[in-house]
Structures are given as C-alpha cells and as structure tokens.
Structure 1
Amino acid sequence: MSQDENISHAVKQQLIDYFEYLANRIERLTRVLPPEKFWINPFPFGNSIGHIIVHLTGSVRHFIGVRCAGIEYERDRDGEFNDKSGRNVDEVLSQFQEAIDMVIQTLHYPEKIDLGAPVTFGGEPVRNQFGLFLVSAAHMNNHVGQIVYLLHAHGIHLDDQSW
C-alpha cells in the first residue's frame, strides 16, 4: 500500500469506528429512557429524543446516503421535527442503525467513496466527501449532548456505563 492509500484507509477506519461509537452511545442513552417519554420534550422549546433520532437518521441519509452512497432519499427536514407517528423506540432506533450501517458500508467500498472528491453541497466549510462525513459525525456528537441534557430533564441520572 502506498502512503496515500494507508492514510485513506486509516481515515476511513477511524470514521467507521467513530460512527459506530456514536450510534452505540445514542442507543445506550435512549434505552435508559422509559419508552413512554421517547416522544416527550420536557421543555417548551427544542425537541424530544425521538425527534432528535429521526432528525439524525434523515441527516445521515441526506448528506452521506444521497451525496456519497448514491441512495434514493427525499428528505423532509421539517417532518423530522414534527413526526407525530408515535412509532416505538425499537423501530426508530432500527431505522437509525440502518442509516449508520449504510455509512459504514459506503466507507468499506472504495468504488463508492473518494474522500477527496469535491462536493458542491453541504455549505461551509465542506469542500469534499470527507467533509460530509466529518460534519455528519460532529453533528451527531452535538446531538448526543442534547440527548444527555434531555435525559437529565426527564429526571434520569446516568451511570458511567450508559453515558
């Protein structure tokens, strides 16, 4: 392997590891919440944990699925925050995990991804496919903090294993 190939492989593997880490963290945090509170926002502003996970699923499908993996997906960002379906936690988490699996599959297959390929989508500072993955991971990590905040507002105190 050339040095460029080694770097590309290392970056892809680190992205895979981080997306898996974030997805596992989101699932663990969500599982400590009583299911009847999944769609409840304890504040007069913001979103429920259910809506955040629907939003993350839509975001990953839109930015990575459509733009890098070539999947067909029509995003309804407003609908992500206004979902009134009351779907159960398992269904929402399953769809989220499917989106994460798509990210990982995309990173595993070199014919699907060229991290240096320029993109004209995603806004500043995204310039290439790597930027889409990086910003998507950062976005997901930001929402982990929001989920923790919502859990505390629901009266749930986290131990080291769930956090």
Structure 2
Amino acid sequence: MITQTLITLFERDLTKLKQELLAYQTEENIWKVAAQIPNSAGNLTLHLVGNLNTFIGAEIGKTGYVRNRPLEFSDKLVPRAKMIAELEATIEVIKNALTKLTPEEYKAEYPLLVFEEKTSTEYLMIHLAVHLGYHLGQVNYHRRLLDKG
C-alpha cells in the first residue's frame, strides 16, 4: 500500500515541477535569483533530481547513479527540455525502485546514514516526498515572483 501511495505522490509532484518549468515566461527566468532567494528554480530542479536518483535510484534501485551535489547548485543554464527529460526519467527510476521494496524492507533500517541517526527506509521515503513538496512550493513562488508583470 505505501509503495503505490509514494509512487503516486512522487509522480504527481515531479509532474507538477515539469509544469512549473514550462510555465516560466522565459527560460532565462528559471535561472534567475532575486532579492533573498538564494536558489533558482533550475538549481532546485537539479537538486531534486540528484536527491531522488541518489536515495531511491542508486540505493534502492541499484541504478549506479553517482551524485555530484555541488554541481546541483552551481550548474547554470541547463536547457529546460533537458531538465524535463531528467524529471521524466526520475519518475521511471522511482517507479522501478519502489516496486521492488517489500513491507519488511520499508520497516528495515535505510542502508545509508542520511540524518544524525539512522532511520527506516519508510521514514526516509516519506521525508523525500515531503522534501520534494517543499522545493516544489519554492519553485512555484519563484516563478510567480519573477514572471510578474
């Protein structure tokens, strides 16, 4: 049951992130930072792709993905179409990885230390869904602030 719920939430929010990227009036605005907004929508998108492909794809799905977290925040001007393709691929990675998990594996300790203390895989998957929603909200506000007028 939790598998289908998580897949539904990840797919919903990654699809919404694609829609947000497409809604920017100009592709250039995806990469702008203004006032006290430290991260562009582009960098938040790269961060989410890296995060999900690391903790779900590489660790659970054994995809071989290797994360470059600093690049998620320093890379600039990645084409919108490329980011959308990466989001679509991430949805498939998540579906493939999570469908492999058994109820016992959800309850088991997640193999990597992500926080100060070890957590269950179930806890980390819920955290990742919430983390995605948090950054999705930031992208939505970023777009509306930069695209006004």
| Same structural fold, with TM-score higher than 0.5 when normalized by the shorter chain | yes
Higher helix share: 2
2:107 alignment partner, one of 108, 111, 116: 116
2: CA distance between counterparts of 1:39 and 1:108?
34
Write out aligned runs for 1:81-160 (5 A): 81-84=73-76, 86-110=77-101, 114-119=105-110, 120-124=112-116, 127-156=119-148
Unaligned runs of 5+ in 2: none
Equivalent position of 1:160 in the other structure: none
1:31 alignment partner, one of 22, 39, 54: 22
2:53 is the alignment partner of 1:66:
no
Corresponding residue pairs, total: 146
2:40 is the alignment partner of 1:48:
yes
* 2:54–2:65 CA contact under 8 A, matched in 1: yes
Unaligned runs of 5+ in 1: 1-9, 158-163
Sequence identity (%): 23
2: CA distance between counterparts of 1:136 and 1:110?
16
> Greater CA radius of gyration, 1 or 2?
1
For residues 128-163 of structure 1, give each alpha carbon's deviation from its aligned partner in whole angstroms, at most 9, with x where no partner exists: 211221111111000011011101211349xxxxxx
1: CA distance between counterparts of 2:39 and 2:83?
15
2: CA distance between counterparts of 1:72 and 1:57?
14
2:17 is the alignment partner of 1:16:
no
1: CA distance between counterparts of 2:101 and 2:40?
37
* 2:56–2:98 CA contact under 8 A, matched in 1: no
